Amino acid sequence: MPRRSDIESICIVGSGPIVIGQAAEFDYAGCQALKVLREDGFRTIVVNSNPATIMTDPGFADRTYLEPLDAESVADVLRIERPDALLPTMGGQTALNLARELATAGVLDELGIELIGARLEAIERAEDRLKFKEAVETCGLKVPESAIVTSLDQLAGLTVPAVVRPAFTLGGHGGGFAMTEEELYRQVERGISESPIGQVLVEESVRGWDEFELEVVRDRIDNVVIVCSIENLDPMGVHTGDSVTVAPQMTLPDEAYQELRDAAAAVIRAVGVDTGGSNIQFARSRETGEVRVIEMNPRVSRSSALASKATGYPIAKVAARLAVGYTLDEIPNDLTGTTPASFEPTLDYVVVKFPRFAFEKFPGADRTLGTQMKSVGETMGIGRTFAEAFLKAYRSRELDAGAATPWQLLADVPEDVHPFFRREVEGIREALGGVGDVESLAAGDWLRLKRAGLSDADIAAAAGTTETTVRRRRRECGVRPAYRRVDSCAGEVEAASNYYYSTWGEVDEAAPTGDRPRVVILGSGPNRIGQGIEFDYCCVHAVTTYRELGYEAVMVNCNPETVSTDYDTSDRLYFEPLDAESVLAICERERPDGVVIQFGGQTPLKLARAIEDAGYRILGTPFDAVDLAEDRERFAGLLRAHGLRSPEWGIAASPDEAVEIAERIGYPVLVRPSYVLGGRAMRVCYTPDEVREMPPFERILVDRFVEHAVEVDVDALCDGVDTYVAAVMQHVEEAGVHSGDSACVLPAPSLSFAQTQEIARVVRILGRALGAVGLLNVQLAVTGDGEVYVIEANPRASRTVPFVSKATGVELVKAACRLALGAKVPELGLPPERPPRQWSVKAAVLPFARFPGSDPVLGPEMRSTGEVMASAADLSTALDKAERAAGRRLPRSGSVFISIREPDHQQAVPIAATLVGLGFELYATEGTAATLAAAGIEVEPVRKLSEATDGEPTVVDLIRRGRCDLVINTPEGRNARSDGYAIREAALARRVPCITTLSGAAAAVHAIATARAEQAMSLQERIDAELGVTQSA
Amino acid sequence: MSYLALADGTVWHGESVGAEGHALGEAVFTTGMSGYQEAVTDPSFEDQLICFTAPMVGNYGVDEERNESARTHARAVLMREARGPEWTDWLRERGIVALTGIDTRSLVLHLRDEGAAPGIAVASELAVEDAVELAAGQPSMLGRALVEDVSTAEPYVFAEEGRVRIGVVDYGVKNSVLRRLAKAGATVTVHPHDTDADELAGYDGVLLSPGPGDPEPLEAQADTVRDLLGRTHVLGICLGHQLIARATGHETYKLPFGHRGANHPVHERLTGRVLVTSQNHGFAVRPKSGAGEAAEVSHVSLYDGTVEGLDLPELRARSLQFHPEAGPGPHDAWPLLEAWVNEVAEAVGA
Ligand SMILES: Nc1ncnc2c1ncn2[C@@H]1O[C@H](COP(=O)(O)OP(=O)(O)O)[C@@H](O)[C@H]1O
Ligand SMILES: Nc1ncnc2c1ncn2[C@@H]1O[C@H](COP(=O)(O)OP(=O)(O)O)[C@@H](O)[C@H]1O
Ligand SMILES: [Mg+2]
Ligand SMILES: [Mg+2]
């Protein structure tokens, strides 16, 4: 039976900002669902607060709402749009929880909206621990035994080993594994005291068992297929999101694998997910073969995205079709075209996923891996053997030099890894050890090394020579990669798939043909802090644009979460590492008319020189302009030559020299190692001692820190001569808070017309001087007396491109692609440069709660994982909504705790006065309280933790007991264990919004005072209004 | 030198990890991702050179429990990446030529496009031209009767206890079939392929087993089946299914490269359901009319529309082209075997 005809419109809820555990995979899922639902003629409505997603592009759904993902806002949208159905399985846990909330509250019934994809009962059976246990037991299977414990005398009868998980602590803090009864006692005692509600979950531990995941799809007539099996290298005890995983499973004999397959089918039936996909996780004892069902996600998931990329079976697409009535035998397999979706994928290659961590950004945080996920992104490698796939994923992580991370070296094999994998990794290391002198290697030797998965760079490092030498020698011996198709059927069915990976010593398959001009677009690799999904957004737009312009668009990327690695997106997809070797080999095969490097963040820029050296043309800004902007000396020379100001700076080779420079240019200074990106390890120093505290890097960059300056971000389009200033954005926080972490407002509220003109002038000069062709992003600082300093220029797409495109309605990437092909700015038909009429705010989402031990303050080093956007007719309303969307709802009443560092005390007075005027009660630490009281503001002083006396509550107690609704706390200095730190951590644990800058506090308090309730408005309407206004202006 | 040569002269180089010498047979591929040992010991792979599409083979070693019959049947295995030593030692000890490092995907695409082909796996000094000549000199699988070589010589009892008495005709039966029958509550007695119909008719039900080769030359066996049908309950699996088909006036034909794998969806016409099945056959049954229409066709392949099962109620017979016993492969169709045993039990009032 085909599609249901009784529903016409469907609302899809996204997963919101990128956070640890919920990343771009849900944009991929949402996009797939939208594509097929629209193809089938449904009217689609999207709600998602994340502007960096493709699914929130105005062209992707009939109506798009960039609204906070809370019940209130989503209900609002549902009331306006009145869809027939809500599909909650594409937006991760966020969407599922919202659907549950709206259903339970009766909103869906009231509006006559049907939940499709997963019914409420099924969601509850999967999510509720007890109901899930019951369902699993009806299948004759087991879950780990568990009990909720609130006091130590409840421990009787509980067995060890056990895992103790305290309720509501940061990142699962205070939990852990207990091997003996005594350990259990101590662990529970600690867990109870750390849990704000004095509760822990004690669960039978199966740490060290092997962990497997199965991706299951079921249709309404009870057909079940298993799309993929995934095996974790890190055994139970390390979250699957943090594990290295491999597909298909490698170590189970058929009978054991079929047992899991049967269990997965039984569980999806018992839970009752009847139209869609689910992920089911199993623990299995290597010794006894016993199995435990760990959990089931009744929705698409991170693992289902991985499984889709691993197999070429588009789970989200199929799930969306199943949700509207199709059955598995009716849905065709895209890759083969002839087989149905009930043909289970079979793989003739191996896929490995590696997590990407960012521990270096959270000093003090615990780096051990456990049951809470900590990684911020992932890479995937495809190869014909485990070794090939493993090393591709391993090197695709693009680790910063020296970054402390699991698997920093090949020798870092985790404990308890299955001997099979241990041997495989040893095999790789043996191959590395046997490299020898590259001049004497013959073709057969080269082939053996390459088949062991080694990259040219690995071989070069082992042989003590350069990568280019290795490449030259290898090619002279005639050893080149072959490309293979991912076809979901191991070659059994002829497939016209356009999805490739490389291997060695085989026949090359389906070389590109056709006479359309061709571009190769380089993606941004794994998500990481500083380089996230925004760049995937840009890449996907670039693909679409080049295809529209008559080009064949070839995509290269290695991030399985993304839309760009959907085989549906480009003309050809190479799932390969973004390194010189892979990219040049792809270029050699594709012979592109141009290579596009400006949309994938820093990753492709690093390859610019190698690409040009190999004789390929870079479309848009050439390598030299990139170098001009990135090389400090050259850039400073350029600024000087054009009379533009930048903060004074110098490069030091030793701490002493750094102090000398600092003395010369004046404190405070901003100090960082000179090679890093993303504000890594950056520090503001006020004294020579602080400068000396810097770890000894080879070259230290010292900048004059521009104090109390407004930071401005500009996105512009250049054709080498003319520049179009698309947006001048102002940061809410002052310069010194990384542009990626501070809230960003468009248009800039506090810049005068003259200042905006001056900024535009600076950007135009830079565009021409750099010779940028395409996108240009400039960051500037504007001081109180109106001086404009250039902080940096990035001749590439920036993090703010999707935000600006959505706020202004100008499709920046499309314009940049045309410029790169030679169009001139005036030919693009862009609306006149003018500030938008509506106010849009982008707010960052920070992962501090996952990293207890690391101080949750904002600074020059970026630490946010994602962002939200909100727009409104006035700034306060937009800001208020953005904060709400970011999960930091600003209170309207209650009490506020204020603790401000000494030099800023006076500036806190007007903020405090406004709060009191709004009826808030104020608490403050002694010094701050004294200043406020002196200004006639009613405030109650409270003790700091370090001033604690018996009996009297400290500020930390106050926060813990939920007596504060907002915390304003500016940090004192670099002492991580300070009182400020205790305050901020308590706020974080209690989920109380905590503002760490005065400028942020002022904006928030203004928003509290003046924000209005405004009805949701779709992006399509907003853009029409924006462009309508600008065109008639 | 180690390589595979096909009769058409194409050669695929690899490294030997099994027995020395050379092995002649029909080169076929199977797409199952696990169950290598089961495949090699499955009599249906008699005289074949198995190319595994699975990227790595041998990962989890061997276990005698996994054997599907008393000996190996495949002549050689062709792998992209073999993992030993357990698996490769096991192959060597059993005299099986095993090649690793083969560009299996290219080989699969070749076999898919050109059809399963006579070939020779070489792990010796045999020259390529000679090898190709030997490969080309073999008889085609078309027209080959292999049942005699794999069937038991004497009847034997596999399971003594049970509610119904099932006789199994061994054309190359797999242990999984016998185990599933016993598990479903049947006594199981295995008979040689040439057991006559009168003897078989004495059972509550007879299962005609899977087996290797072309069903067409098995005229004597088909005659026995014709004689048997209608006298007791009969279930045919794979070759058994093809023999029932031939006994009831259907033709069989050679598929270009067969169905071998563990992921083939089959449409069950009665329930509308899809079964993910384990398959291993090089021949198929031609329906009397289109597979989708012919009334007796109970199961249809969703992969290429071929006949996957027959239902002949007036003869108390049914048959399945795929392997409900799995071993290796998914268990989706296990219930079909159980249901048949139950049906027989009900009919005989057990
Ligand atoms: N009983 C247990 N014993 C040991 N490790 C466990 C146990 N339960 C879960 N884990 C580990 O914790 C991880 C996360 O648990 P899970 O229930 O899957 O939560 P999430 O919803 O975060 O995925 C698992 O991937 C597994 O490695
Ligand atoms: N000289 C400076 N004075 C004040 N703040 C600065 C200065 N240089 C950088 N910053 C702050 O540090 C942040 C990161 O610096 P930036 O040079 O832009 O590095 P990245 O390459 O990580 O974007 C900026 O967003 C800004 O807030
Ligand atoms: Mg999990
Ligand atoms: Mg910056």
> Alpha-carbon distance B193 to B208, whole Å?
9
Q: Give the one of A340, A344, A346 whose C-beta lies nearest to B53's C-beta.
A: A346
Q: Which of residues 196-235 of A touch B (CB under 8 A)?
A: 221-223, 225-226
- The answer to whether residues B52 and B26 touch, using CB atoms and an 8 Å cutoff, is no
Judged against a pLDDT cut of 60, whether residue A540 lies above it is answered with yes
DSSP conformation letters of B305-318: --EEEEEEGGGTEE
pLDDT number for residue A973: 62
pLDDT number for residue A1032: 44
Q: In chain A, what percentage of residues exceed pLDDT 90? A: 84
Does the annotation count B51 as an active-site position? no
- Say if strands B317-320 and B233-237 run parallel, antiparallel, or are unpaired: parallel
- Residues A644-661 have pLDDT tens digits of 999 999 999 888 999 999
> Alpha-carbon distance A787 to A708, whole Å?
12
Task: Give the type of residue at A604.
Answer: P
- Residues A313-343 have pLDDT tens digits of 999 999 999 999 999 999 999 888 888 999 9
pLDDT number for residue B291: 66
pLDDT number for residue A974: 54
> Alpha-carbon distance A505 to A418, whole Å?
28
The burial of A835, by beta-carbon neighbours within 10 Å (0-12 exposed, 13-18 middle, 19 or more buried), is given as: middle
Judged against a pLDDT cut of 90, whether residue B126 lies above it is answered with yes
Q: Which has the closest alpha carbon to A880: A746, A712, A702, A1003? A: A1003
Q: Ligand 1 atom closest to Cα of A206?
A: 3
pLDDT number for residue A197: 83
> Alpha-carbon distance A426 to B104, whole Å?
25
Interface test with B, best of A225, A251, A330, A348 (most B CBs within 10 A): A348
Average pLDDT over residues A836-842: 97
pLDDT number for residue A379: 98
Give CA separation, A741 vs A356, A744, A859, A1008, B153, in Å.
Answer: 20, 9, 8, 21, 79
Whether a cis peptide bond, with omega within 30° of 0, leads into B85 is yes
Which residues of chain B does A349 touch, with a Cβ-Cβ cutoff of 8 Å? 55
A190's tokens: 């600690």
What are φ and ψ of residue A715, in 5° steps?
A: -110, 130
Residues of B with CB under 8 A from a CB of A: 29, 31-35, 38, 53-56, 59-60, 63, 66, 80-81, 83, 101, 103-106, 108-109, 112-113, 261-265, 267, 272-274, 276, 302-303, 326-331
**Secondary structure of A402-429 in HEC code, one letter for each residue:** CCCCCCCCCCCCCCCCCHHHHHHHHHHH
Q: Which has the closest alpha carbon to A747: A737, A759, A735, A738? A: A759
Q: Which residue of B has its CA nearest to A492?
A: B112
Q: Which residue of B has its CA nearest to A263?
A: B331
The burial of A919, by beta-carbon neighbours within 10 Å (0-12 exposed, 13-18 middle, 19 or more buried), is given as: exposed
Judged against a pLDDT cut of 70, whether residue A34 lies above it is answered with yes
Does the annotation count B125 as an active-site position? no
Do B276 and A506 lie within an 8 Å CB cutoff?
no
- The answer to whether residues B333 and B324 touch, using CB atoms and an 8 Å cutoff, is yes
- Say if strands B15-16 and B97-100 run parallel, antiparallel, or are unpaired: antiparallel
- The answer to whether residues A789 and A646 touch, using CB atoms and an 8 Å cutoff, is yes
pLDDT number for residue A17: 97
pLDDT category at A174 given cuts 50, 70, 90 is confident
Prediction pTM value: 0.96
pLDDT category at A1033 given cuts 50, 70, 90 is very low
Task: Give the type of residue at A265.
Answer: A
Does the annotation count B238 as an active-site position? yes
Q: Which residue of A has its CA nearest to B115?
A: A492
| A–B interface: beta-carbon pairs under 8 A | 139
> Alpha-carbon distance A573 to A590, whole Å?
11
**Secondary structure of A602-640 in HEC code, one letter for each residue:** HHHHCCHHHHHHCCCCEECCCHHHHHHHHCHHHHHHHHH
> Alpha-carbon distance B4 to B134, whole Å?
12
> Alpha-carbon distance B206 to B193, whole Å?
12
Mean of the per-residue pLDDT values of chain A: 94
Which residues of chain A does B83 touch, with a Cβ-Cβ cutoff of 8 Å? 420
DSSP conformation letters of A559-572: -TTSSTTSTTTSSE
A829's tokens: 């038909």
- Residues B95-117 have pLDDT tens digits of 999 999 999 999 999 999 999 99
Q: Which has the closest alpha carbon to A13: A84, A91, A93? A: A91
DSSP conformation letters of A800-815: THHHHHHHH---HHHH
The burial of A319, by beta-carbon neighbours within 10 Å (0-12 exposed, 13-18 middle, 19 or more buried), is given as: buried
B87's tokens: 């698996």
SS3 for B47? coil
Q: Give the one of B31, B66, B112 whose C-beta lies nearest to A346's C-beta.
A: B31
Q: In chain B, what percentage of residues exceed pLDDT 90? A: 97
Give CA separation, A200 vs A821, A947, B3, B110, in Å.
Answer: 60, 30, 62, 60
Task: Give the type of residue at A483.
Answer: Y
pLDDT category at A678 given cuts 50, 70, 90 is low
Looking at the complex, does the CB of residue A966 fall below 8 Å from at least one CB of chain B? no
Give the dihedral of Cα atoms A1019, A1025, A1026, A1028; nearest 10 deg: 140
> Which residues place a Cβ less than 5 A from the ion ligand 4?
A 739, 779
Do A261 and B103 lie within an 8 Å CB cutoff?
no
- Say if strands A649-652 and A700-704 run parallel, antiparallel, or are unpaired: antiparallel
Do A506 and B109 lie within an 8 Å CB cutoff?
no
pLDDT number for residue A676: 57
**How many Cβ atoms are within 10 Å of A415's Cβ, its own excluded?**
9
Our CA angle for A431, A434, A440, nearest 5°, is 120
Average pLDDT over residues A922-941: 94
A880's tokens: 């208020």
Q: Which of residues 347-406 of A touch B (CB under 8 A)?
A: 347-350, 384-386
Q: Where are the alpha helices (DSSP H) in A886-1017?
A: 908-917, 926-934, 955-960, 979-989, 998-1010
Q: Which has the closest alpha carbon to A524: A500, A542, A545? A: A542
Q: Which has the closest alpha carbon to B24: B137, B172, B149? A: B137
Q: How many CA atoms lie within 13 A of B202 on its CB side?
A: 6
Q: Ligand 1 atom closest to Cα of A234?
A: 27
pLDDT category at A951 given cuts 50, 70, 90 is confident
Q: Which has the closest alpha carbon to B25: B79, B75, B73? A: B75
Average pLDDT over residues A140-167: 91
> Alpha-carbon distance A814 to B250, whole Å?
62
pLDDT number for residue B36: 98
- Residues A617-644 have pLDDT tens digits of 999 999 999 999 999 899 999 999 999 9
Closest Cα to atom 5, ligand 2: which residue? Answer: A736
DSSP conformation letters of B205-226: EEEEPP-SS-STT-HHHHHHHH
Closest Cα to atom 25, ligand 1: which residue? Answer: A239
Interface test with A, best of B274, B280, B301 (most A CBs within 10 A): B274
Ligand nearest to the CA of A702: 2
pLDDT number for residue A961: 86
pLDDT number for residue A853: 86
Q: How many CA atoms lie within 13 A of A17 on its CB side?
A: 25
Residue with tokens 């209170």: A891
- The answer to whether residues A709 and A735 touch, using CB atoms and an 8 Å cutoff, is yes
> Alpha-carbon distance B278 to A218, whole Å?
19
- Residues A783-831 have pLDDT tens digits of 989 999 999 999 999 999 999 999 999 999 999 999 999 999 999 999 9
pLDDT number for residue A1031: 46
Average pLDDT over residues A192-205: 88
- Residues A453-499 have pLDDT tens digits of 999 999 999 999 999 999 999 999 999 999 999 999 999 999 989 99
What are φ and ψ of residue A764, in 5° steps?
A: -65, -40
- Residues B161-183 have pLDDT tens digits of 999 999 999 999 999 999 999 99
- The answer to whether residues A52 and A85 touch, using CB atoms and an 8 Å cutoff, is no
Mean of the per-residue pLDDT values of chain B: 97
Q: In chain B, what percentage of residues exceed pLDDT 70? A: 99
DSSP conformation letters of B176-211: HHHHHHHHTTEEEEEE-TT--HHHHHTSSEEEEPP-
Judged against a pLDDT cut of 90, whether residue B146 lies above it is answered with yes
What are φ and ψ of residue A863, in 5° steps?
A: -140, 0
pLDDT category at A289 given cuts 50, 70, 90 is very high
Judged against a pLDDT cut of 80, whether residue A726 lies above it is answered with yes
pLDDT number for residue A335: 87
- Residues A974-996 have pLDDT tens digits of 544 578 888 888 888 888 999 99
Average pLDDT over residues A287-297: 96
Q: Which has the closest alpha carbon to A593: A625, A558, A566, A553? A: A553
Interval between CA A877 and ligand 3 midpoint (Å): 37
> Alpha-carbon distance A310 to A320, whole Å?
19
Helix (H) or strand (E) holding A499: strand A499-504
- The answer to whether residues A493 and A485 touch, using CB atoms and an 8 Å cutoff, is no
Do A261 and B264 lie within an 8 Å CB cutoff?
no
Judged against a pLDDT cut of 60, whether residue A879 lies above it is answered with yes
pLDDT category at A429 given cuts 50, 70, 90 is very high
